[in-house]
Structure 1
Amino acid sequence: MNPLNSDSGSPLLSFHLLNAIHSSIQFGYVVLSDNLNIISISPNLHTILQVEDLDVFLNQPLTHLFGEFVGSEERLTAVKSGQIPFYRLESIAHSAPDGTFFYFNLQIMLFDPRNSKSGFWISVENSTAVGQLQQRLTQQRNELKQEVKRRKSAEAKLQQLNNQLEQRVYERTLELAKANEQLKLLEAAIVNTNDTVIITEVEPTDFAQA
């Protein structure tokens, strides 16, 4: 079913409202048939996605434009059956022609939540500013973690050196104490063995007089 031709009365967003959305560079939209083929794209979406020509995606499956929905069949079925009101993907990063990254959010829901065959619409929100900020914060957080890790490693090495130094000082102190004790013992031994030798002079005896 083509939601643009729907006569369901009051769909979630009228086509006129969808057209009004494209006036902001921050928002774009894609309208899908109930079998998830692309039937309309907002005029400003090429600016958000930084793609020159999006008309080539008309009448093509949703996943040809947004590969992020590959593998999301279960979620999309849940949206179509009304089990969940929408399915949202945030902070999708794509590479721009100049090599930088831009970010956007996608949210898909029924064009008319009262009619499961009314088709779908996808809001495309330019979240580059937020995404780049998050990227910078993530990078800074990772750098901070690395710095903390380096500091902890340096502190651990310093502590190890301090422990080794303290151990060496302790061992050297014991060595000096032992050497000092041995020196005292040696000095005591020298004092104890230093006996005074007394030499008595004997007058010569005149044996001849005898």
Structure 2
Amino acid sequence: MTSKMEISPIEAATLAGRVADALLRMHHAAFAVLDGELVVRYVSPDLLALLHAPEMDPAGQPLTHFLDLFVGMEEVLEDVLRGESEGVSLDQVNWELPDGSFLYFSFQCLPYMPAEPRAGLLLIVEDTTALNQMRQLMVQDRNELRLLREALSRTNDQLRQANQTKSLFLSMAAHDLRAPLSVIQGYADLLEMELGAILSDDQHEFLRIISNQVDWLVQLIADLLDLDRIEQGNLILNQEPCLLEELVQESARVYALNARQKGLSLRLNLAPTASSVNIDPQRLRQVMHNLLSNAIKFCRAGDTITLSTRQEGDGVVLAVADTGPGVTAEQAGRIFDKYYRTEETRQRQVQGAGLGLYIVKSLVEAHEGRVQVISQPGWGTRFDVWLPRFDWV
């Protein structure tokens, strides 16, 4: 005959606590075991350490005496003991320590014997301070990001308004300046034509200076308007299939006189096979104008400027090379920057606003091309403009 050993609820709760302690200690869990009357029967050392009360011995005390945050929750816990609820969870509980500092805990009560919930509850406590601090930082960062986004939006609105005002001003200024500049140029041409035979050399030079200054101002206005279109994203290309060599020859004819007047040699070295490109011809003329006028401006008498074309990969390269003074590697790295002018250019008081090469780069890239500069002081400079080749159907 065998006899069945019976144990009291208190002994069962204590035994459950020891078993739970053996299991949960491996995971450094902080917990307590409650009997069916919600009396504390066992508290793990980790829980006492978590509460900063290692000397406390709450065994035999009602749960509400041990942890007063459960005062008023007795009925909810009874539901768990009756099996009417799977458990109770309390998250982000702010817990004040004896030294006045605060931690955040989470509490979870559930039956330690799910098949017999009346036997008692297992109270598991977790320190969520780090997690809660992280959440608070995330909320703070989110709020700061929202405020930053709102400030950025306001700044963007202000910049947009400023850009619109600038564009309007440029448009009005260009309109108001072009008319008097045309009049000045017209009278200078008229004086040269009507009185050229009786003017002195100095007077001819004065008229030439007037004409050059008018040309420079007209070009500056055009550059500023192009810059505004580029920055506003309003640059429109009227592309059409063209033969690159024809446009290069046209530009060479236009600038041959300017080069000759300065004692420069302008040469052509075109690819034997015509290169077809899909471009805005007026904008490509502008690219060549900026590159050629720069070369003529900086070269000295006796230097050579060479316009060439060649096939490269699935594109064609237009090169403008000169034997002028060249630039350093540092200067070459900044040469396409907006408003950039070298120190030598400023010292020599060479006319320009530092926009020409920036506009060249922008126009070339608008054609899905690229431009690079190769230069060395004392050896000259070469600009390579690569454009995608267009295949005629």
Q: TM-score, normalised by structure 1?
A: 0.57
Counterpart position of 1:186: none
Counterpart position of 1:120: 121
Q: Which has the larger radius of gyration?
A: 1
Aligned AA (1:94): W
Residue 37 (structure 1) aligned with residue 26 (structure 2) = no
Q: Deviations over 1:118-177 (max 9, x none)?
A: 12220122334433333333332232223223323433455566678889999x99xx9x
Return closer, same or farther for 1:143/1:6 CA change in 2, 3 Å cut-off. Answer: same
Provide the rounded CA distance (Å) in 2 between the counterparts of 1:158 and 1:71.
59
Provide the rounded CA distance (Å) in 2 between the counterparts of 1:74 and 1:165.
72
Counterpart position of 2:155: 154
How many residues of Structure 1 are paired with residues of Structure 2 in the alignment? 172
Provide the rounded CA distance (Å) in 1 between the counterparts of 2:58 and 2:119.
23
Aligned AA (1:76): L
Counterpart position of 2:48: 46
Provide the rounded CA distance (Å) in 2 between the counterparts of 1:100 and 1:29.
22
Report the alpha carbon displacement of residue 115 of structure 1 after superposing the two structures with TM. Answer: 3.0
Provide the rounded CA distance (Å) in 1 between the counterparts of 2:143 and 2:68.
30
SS at 1:36 equivalent: coil
Return closer, same or farther for 1:33/1:156 CA change in 2, 3 Å cut-off. Answer: farther
Counterpart position of 2:11: 5
Is the contact between residue 3 and residue 120 of structure 1 (CA under 8 Å) also seen in structure 2?
Answer: no
Return closer, same or farther for 1:52/1:159 CA change in 2, 3 Å cut-off. Answer: farther
Aligned AA (1:30): A
Counterpart position of 2:132: 131
Return closer, same or farther for 1:117/1:56 CA change in 2, 3 Å cut-off. Answer: closer
Aligned AA (1:17): V
Counterpart position of 1:60: 62
Return closer, same or farther for 1:46/1:56 CA change in 2, 3 Å cut-off. Answer: same
Is the contact between residue 43 and residue 58 of structure 2 (CA under 8 Å) also seen in structure 1?
Answer: no
Counterpart position of 1:79: 80
Q: CA RMSD in A?
A: 4.1
Return closer, same or farther for 1:94/1:152 CA change in 2, 3 Å cut-off. Answer: farther
| Structure 1 unaligned spans of 5+ | 8-12, 177-210
Report the alpha carbon displacement of residue 4 of structure 1 after superposing the two structures with TM. Answer: 4.1
Aligned AA (2:12): S
Aligned AA (2:134): L
Structure 1 range deviating more: 79-88 or 147-156: 147-156
SS at 1:55 equivalent: coil
Q: Deviations over 1:7-59 (max 9, x none)?
A: 9xxxxx93332222563574111122323232321122122223354325851
SS at 1:50 equivalent: coil
SS at 1:14 equivalent: helix
Q: Deviations over 1:52-106 (max 9, x none)?
A: 5432585133365151x34545542331221222222234343456666433322
Return closer, same or farther for 1:24/1:157 CA change in 2, 3 Å cut-off. Answer: farther
Is the contact between residue 25 and residue 48 of structure 1 (CA under 8 Å) also seen in structure 2?
Answer: no
Aligned AA (1:83): E
| Structure 2 unaligned spans of 5+ | 1-7, 177-393
Higher relative contact order (CA closer than 8 Å, sequence separation 6+):
1
Provide the rounded CA distance (Å) in 2 between the counterparts of 1:101 and 1:42.
21
Aligned AA (1:108): C
Q: TM-score, normalised by structure 2?
A: 0.34
Aligned AA (2:151): R
SS at 1:94 equivalent: strand
Provide the rounded CA distance (Å) in 1 between the counterparts of 2:72 and 2:156.
48
Q: Superposed, which structure 2 residues align to 1:178-189 within 5 Å?
A: none
Is the contact between residue 36 and residue 120 of structure 2 (CA under 8 Å) also seen in structure 1?
Answer: yes
Aligned AA (1:19): D
